[in-house]
């Protein structure tokens, strides 16, 4: 560890997980990144000094037009003419931040237990002092064992009066080779739709103002070489680990700099800090890769190395929602539980409709008491039977929300988030409960905790169906999105502290909240309220840019999807769900015996494959045939792999050509076989006729990735599983 830096500029080189970050450290400026990306190897100090010299710009009469270095928190006072990283004021003054001195400390030991793996994180902490503005500004950059960068900034008020932070947005630069941007858009039940465009001059900004990232969340903001894909090109990108209002942006400045940045979107007064207190931005995570597969692998490796990451086999789930909706009839639910257990289901989740006055979505939310009219003996008859059948019991809750038609809202109208104009517009007939109010927080956490204890609940499906608009404290009128987000984190943490082993699923009307902030507390996400297997292909592929497959809830629905009306074969539905955390959301009591036998086969297959699927490396091929998708998971030792080839559109070529299998050891010999086939929607079996599929073929990993095997011709919405086993 080095002490406070000398007065001279110097360069440091951080290395972890195939990533190098080279930073310029100046005595009066926060750190400036000179390189972020490929590992540079062991670079001597003299070479680092040479890098500093090599990066110098030609002489100019104005630093404002030739920014030699831009810090990870850009400031106008250094001559930066783009968006400042920190903007705030002390009642209109102290709004231009400049530092008398900046100290830098490099820590290679990871001594504070940052959960990134056995070798710890490399960490750079820099503290800028502005005596005139009475501020300390701290930046912390961590290079984690996976090669993922984590960056945040903190403003500390050393004055005698309040200071208001308007925004605090750290930034990471990308090279000129980054010519194309990628992020996501979407809507409820249609999340994670990728979109691309040129990285032109100006700013591309993606904001979320609904108190959650939202169904149209950018999720990531990537910049890469032109035409980058999963296995081609080079890409850099950022993700914000925060579950409230937020922004991600890409800025290309005429001075030549290209920045990726992110932070919290603060409502008025939310960033105000009293004397002696601080405000910190959320963690901004940055990854890079030779293609999106390597980019996402750094996220997956980081998440899997955390101590709280689920490591037990992910149980087969049955959720009751699309089976019964609000119709909670005990005999029907008992029959459903029996059918589920007979198929090998391991976790039974009772969804919305079990609590007081909850016969539809217009009433009862917030009254977390079992409805005595529907459940005169409580949930015990169902729970006892579920446990006797060897399954865990899970329960749907929505602790952050309330119906105005509820005993809770009538007794405590001041616990509803609102403005001077009242609680505002409803969504799904509901409003938001002010968890920043200590009394409301205690009331809800105690009720939910009591249910968990009474019924031995192992799993909470935690929903969030209304965006946070008009979200103010009833008593003060002040905005409360930041406080609500922080309180949600605290409530999840407290419930898990009270109940060892309790797991939580983050559901936000589907996939509206699955950022790395909520994933500090959640063990699974509900990818979308749409479980159409055709749509699931897109959802898994693009949600998987940040989250590994064991965290992604994927369910087998009814033959005709409840959201889209699309009719799909059972093999296609199950084969699609196989590549996530597998579950069922279907009225099994209405299924035919042949369908149940078929589903049991897929459940058995999931149990056989889940260790590979939930520990291996996700790979995706860049296929040139429209509508043909190949994804797979390769074991960490590359001893085996399972791929899924799916036809999602009517392909323009029959047969569609050779299929390259990515991710294998180039020098090992593999036996490649067809592991499973599906049926088309009309029930006609898909039986690949290629000789290799019938007999198996032995090829090296190099040949399989560079030459490949002949792909089968598939009808639309059909798939084939392909296994590669090292021999």
Alpha helices in 271-389 (DSSP H): 292-305, 321-324, 330-343, 380-388
SS3 of 281, please? coil
Distance of alpha carbon 75 from alpha carbon 260, whole angstroms: 15
Which residue among the candidates 26, 352, 523, 529 is catalytic per the annotation? 529
Query: In the annotation, is 497 catalytic?
Result: no
Q: How many residues does the chain have?
A: 727
- Greatest Cα pair distance, the chain, in angstroms, is 83
Residue pair 443/376 in contact by the 8 Å Cβ criterion = no
Q: Which two tokens stand for residue 538?
A: 């897109």
Query: In the annotation, is 682 catalytic?
Result: no
Q: Measuring CA to CA, which residue among 109, 111, 86 is closest to residue 97?
A: 86
Which residue among the candidates 463, 470, 532, 561 is catalytic per the annotation? 463
Backbone angles phi, psi at 355, to 5 degrees: -105, 175
164 DSSP β-pair partners: 89, 272
Residue 194: cis peptide before it, omega within 30 degrees of 0: no
Distance of alpha carbon 93 from alpha carbon 80, whole angstroms: 20
Q: Measuring CA to CA, which residue among 659, 571, 558, 629 is closest to residue 229?
A: 629
Distance of alpha carbon 702 from alpha carbon 707, whole angstroms: 8
Handedness of CA 400, 404, 405, 406 (dihedral sign): positive
Q: Which two tokens stand for residue 387?
A: 């446990």
Alpha helices in 506-662 (DSSP H): 533-543, 570-577, 593-615
Distance of alpha carbon 245 from alpha carbon 657, whole angstroms: 46
Distances 218 to 193, 248, 262 between C-alpha atoms, Å: 9, 8, 11
Residue pair 144/117 in contact by the 8 Å Cβ criterion = yes
Distance of alpha carbon 178 from alpha carbon 198, whole angstroms: 9
HEC-encoded secondary structure of 459-508: EEEECCCCCCCCCECCCCCCECHHHHHHHHHHHHHHHHHHCCCCEEEECE
Residue pair 223/235 in contact by the 8 Å Cβ criterion = yes
Residue pair 569/595 in contact by the 8 Å Cβ criterion = no
Distance of alpha carbon 411 from alpha carbon 261, whole angstroms: 44
Start-to-end CA distance of the chain, whole Å, equals 47
Could you give the angle at the alpha carbon of 23 between the alpha carbons of 40 and 45, nearest 5°? 60
The residues assigned a catalytic role are 463, 529
């Amino acid at each position: 560890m080095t002490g406070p830096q000398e007065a001279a500029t110097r360069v440091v080189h951080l290395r972890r997980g195939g990533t190098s970050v080279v930073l310029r450290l100046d005595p009066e400026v926060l750190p400036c990144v000179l390189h972020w990306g490929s590992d540079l190897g062991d670079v001597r100090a003299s070479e680092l000094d040479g890098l500093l010299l090599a990066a110098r710009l030609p002489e100019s009469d104005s630093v404002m037009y030739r920014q030699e270095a831009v810090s990870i928190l850009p400031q106008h006072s250094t001559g930066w003419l783009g968006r400042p990283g920190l903007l705030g004021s002390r009642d209109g003054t102290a709004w231009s931040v400049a530092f008398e001195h900046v100290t830098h400390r490099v820590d290679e030991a990871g001594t504070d237990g940052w959960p990134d793996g056995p070798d710890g994180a490399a960490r750079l902490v820099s503290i800028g002092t502005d005596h005139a503005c009475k501020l300390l500004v701290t930046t912390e950059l961590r290079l984690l064992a996976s090669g993922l960068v984590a960056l945040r900034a903190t403003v500390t008020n050393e004055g005698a009066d309040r200071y208001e932070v308007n925004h605090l947005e750290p930034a990471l630069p990308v090279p000129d080779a980054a010519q194309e941007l990628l992020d996501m858009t979407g809507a409820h039940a249609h999340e994670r739709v990728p979109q691309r465009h040129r990285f032109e001059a100006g700013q591309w900004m993606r904001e979320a103002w609904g108190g959650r990232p939202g169904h149209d969340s950018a999720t990531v903001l990537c910049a890469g070489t032109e035409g980058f894909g999963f296995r081609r090109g080079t890409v850099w990108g950022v993700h914000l680990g925060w579950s409230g209002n937020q922004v991600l942006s890409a800025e290309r400045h005429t001075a030549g700099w290209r920045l990726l940045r992110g932070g919290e979107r603060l409502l008025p007064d939310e960033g105000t800090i009293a004397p002696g207190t601080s405000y910190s931005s959320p963690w901004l995570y940055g990854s890079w890769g030779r293609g999106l597969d390597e980019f996402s692998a750094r996220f997956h490796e980081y998440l899997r190395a955390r101590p709280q990451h689920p490591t037990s086999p992910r149980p087969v789930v049955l959720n009751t929602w699309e089976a019964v909706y609000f119709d909670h009839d005990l005999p029907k639910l008992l029959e459903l539980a029996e059918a589920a257990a007979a198929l090998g289901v391991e976790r039974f989740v009772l969804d919305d409709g079990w609590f007081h006055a909850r016969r539809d979505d217009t009433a009862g939310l917030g009254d977390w008491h079992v409805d005595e009219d529907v459940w005169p003996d409580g949930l015990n008859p169902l729970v006892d039977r579920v446990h006797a059948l060897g399954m865990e019991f899970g329960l749907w809750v929505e602790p952050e929300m309330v119906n105005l038609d509820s005993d809770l809202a009538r007794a405590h109208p001041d616990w509803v988030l609102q403005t001077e104009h009242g609680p505002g517009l409803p969504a799904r007939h509901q409003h938001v409960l002010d968890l920043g109010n200590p009394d409301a927080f205690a009331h809800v956490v105690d009720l939910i905790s009591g249910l968990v204890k009474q019924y031995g609940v192992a799993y909470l499906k935690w929903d969030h169906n209304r965006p946070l608009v008009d979200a103010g404290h009833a008593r003060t009128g002040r905005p409360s999105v930041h406080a609500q987000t922080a309180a949600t984190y605290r409530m999840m943490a407290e419930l898990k502290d009270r109940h060892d082993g309790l797991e939580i699923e983050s559901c936000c009307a589907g996939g509206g909240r699955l950022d790395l902030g909520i994933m500090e507390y959640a063990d699974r996400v509900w990818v979308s309220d749409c479980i159409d297997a055709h749509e699931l292909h897109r959802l898994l592929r693009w949600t998987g840019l940040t989250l590994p497959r064991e965290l992604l809830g994927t369910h087998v629905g009814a033959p005709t999807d409840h959201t889209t009306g699309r009719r799909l074969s059972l093999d296609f539905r199950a084969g699609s769900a196989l590549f996530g955390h597998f579950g069922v959301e279907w009225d099994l009591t209405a299924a035919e015996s042949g369908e149940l036998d078929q589903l049991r086969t897929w459940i058995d297959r999931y149990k056989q494959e889940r260790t590979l699927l939930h520990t291996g490396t996700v790979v995706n091929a860049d296929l040139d045939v429209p509508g043909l998708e190949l994804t797979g998971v390769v074991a960490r030792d590359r001893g085996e792999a399972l791929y899924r080839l799916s036809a999602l559109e009517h392909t323009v070529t029959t047969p569609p050509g050779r299929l390259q299998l990515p991710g294998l050891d180039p020098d090992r010999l593999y036996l490649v076989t067809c592991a499973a086939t599906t049926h088309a929607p009309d029930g006609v079996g898909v039986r690949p006729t290629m000789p290799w599929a019938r007999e198996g073929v032995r090829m090296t990993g190099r040949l399989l990735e560079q030459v490949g095997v002949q792909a089968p011709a598939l009808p639309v919405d059909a798939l084939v599983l392909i296994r590669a086993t090292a021999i």
